[in-house]
Amino acid sequence: MEIEVELSKIIINESSDQQIIVLKERYGQRSFPIVIGIVEIFAIDRRLKGIQPPRPMTHDLLDNVITSLGARVERIIINDIRNHTFYARIVLSLNGKVVEVDSRPSDAIALGVASSSPIFVAEEVFDKILG
């Protein structure tokens, strides 16, 4: 089972390479942080603030490539956590088929924000994190 989440908090610390986003259940109370890189946090932050760079950034480029190929980002899924490392899948639809692509959660979330796609977390990830 997958639970829809939203970005509830973005914590940017420019003196560190590790930034934090907090994902919270859209229709519940559970939440948890994910540590991501500075490039991804700025991409997410810019997009959420509606700031359009003069040229496409990496996650915008990826969204443009997916769209140009006739596919669509259906959803992002944070599907596992192992040894304190999160795993994600980008779910695409292409010509009536579903294609899943392995991704770092930071890239998947940045792409999800760029493509206005919903983000989900597998129930077992919540179980592993929150006990």
pLDDT tens across 68-123, in order?
999 999 999 999 999 999 999 999 999 999 999 999 999 999 999 989 999 999 99
The three-state (H, E, C) secondary structure of 78-129, written as one string: EEEEECCEEEEEEEEEECCEEEEEEECHHHHHHHHHHCCCCEEEEHHHHHHH
Distance of alpha carbon 51 from alpha carbon 85, whole angstroms: 30
**At residue 58, does pLDDT exceed 90?**
no
pLDDT at 59: 87
CB 124, CB 1: distance < 8 Å: no
Token output for 94: 């292409």
